[in-house]
Amino acid sequence: MTRPTRPDWSALLALLMSPLLGCDAPPASGRPTHATTTASGDLAVAAERAEEATHGAPDDERERTPIADARGFSVHEWGLIDVGARGAELAARAVPGRPPPRRETIATPAKPVLYVHLAEGVDELRIDLGVRIPGGAILEHWPLTQTIEDGVSWSIVARRESCRGGPYPRVTDRVCRLADLCEAAELALYETREGACLEHGDQRHNLLFYRGRGPAAPLPLDVSVGARGVVTVRRRALPYATGDFPLLRVIRDDGDVRVVPARLEGAHIELPHLATRGRCPRHDPTRDGRGHSCDEVRAMEIADAVADFDAVFARSGLTPGERAAFERAWNEELVRPGPAGVRDAILYWLPTDAADAIMPLTIEPAPTAVRRAHLVRVDLRR
């Protein structure tokens, strides 16, 4: 077994391989709670270090993804959508007073972040940008603006130069104490140098952020757990449920992570029950035929497993800095051993048409391109 090149989608590798193989990796933020004491100034420093660790210094020559043509601007977005294999039970606690029908799918968009890119020759542009979660609610957003029914809308002026955002709220601020979770306090970690500077009122921002929860349009795949832990993934009869779907089955505990790839090509696929293998020995005397330790072998297995996912994410059209920001947001919860995050899950990338149905955007004037990369995480234990 040879060591593979680290894939672009290092969300499944960066933090896992860093302690095992001695590689440098951008820090993960984790998900903030009211017990968090990190100040937004500290996060800004961490964000700058993470950006330089991922992309190098500002003047470095590095890969750039084409972002817009000469006619105007484009909007890029990444995020994660949490659902349960028995979605209604999970949603009843999430949407008080509005229990859905038993088999209705519940989507929880977590930490979606939006960036704006101006085309060459466009130095300044006024944009109205809004998002809705039909039948649901916006739980948190930044910068603060007026929420409208089940959505939020910003009026911004995009300027060509990049800028730092903020000041972001601290977890001790009133706006955070009133929320069930304050992700706005960590937004400095997800800034990039590639997008436009967004003026909202008298403040400048690098990005827009929202988080919501509620009943949603059906997801393209139905995931269920049957006898003996067999997981069945079925394609729904929806216009955006076509084509192949690369899947990952991720099982994690305090001492181990197993990542098993699969691909839905037909109407359904069955995945057998899996279990973690326990922690590698602290002083591992065993080596494979090429001299790799237990931890190294497991890390390389994960690198092989995420190849299809890496390809899908790379084709999303997000810039390198935006993909790195996603990784900083979700490394910890996706595959690193530990108590945080979901213990048994199916992961797949949501088609753009499905994202448009679940979280429709309204943008005026019309952009030349909208690129949305949302990972769906199906919790098999809920």
pLDDT, one tens digit per residue, over 36-74 is: 333 444 444 444 544 554 444 444 433 444 444 446 999
| Range name among 17-31, 115-129, 190-204, 234-248 with the lowest pLDDT average | 17-31
Each domain of the chain, given as residue ranges in start order, spans 10-27+218-357+372-379, 40-215
CA–CA dist 90, 309 (Å, integer): 27
Decide which of 196 and 65 is more confident: 196
Per-residue confidence (pLDDT) for residue 128, from 0 to 100: 96
Q: What is the mean pLDDT of residues 99-123?
A: 72
367 CB contacts (<8 Å, ≥6 apart)?
68, 72, 73, 74, 75
pLDDT of 2 above 70: no
Task: Please write the tens of the pLDDT for every residue from 313-361.
Answer: 999 999 999 999 998 888 777 766 666 678 889 999 999 999 998 899 9
**What pLDDT score does 327 carry?**
87
Yes or no: say if 116 and 75 are a contact pair by the CB < 8 Å rule.
yes
| CA dihedral (60, 64, 67, 68) positive or negative | positive
* Residue 21 token pair: 């193989």
The closest alpha carbon to 107, from 140, 141, 80, 78, belongs to: 80
Structure tokens, 12: 């499944």
**What pLDDT was estimated at residue 189?**
93
Q: How many C-beta atoms lie closer than 10 Å to residue 124's C-beta?
A: 12
Tell me which H or E stretch contains 23: none
Q: Which helix (H) or strand (E) holds 174?
A: helix 174-177
From the list 109, 14, 25, the residue with the least C-alpha distance to 375 is 109
The predicted pLDDT at position 201 comes to 92
For residue 338, the model assigns a pLDDT of 66
Residue 123 DSSP label? -
pTM: 0.77
Cα dihedral 332, 75, 163, 37, rounded to 10, equals -30
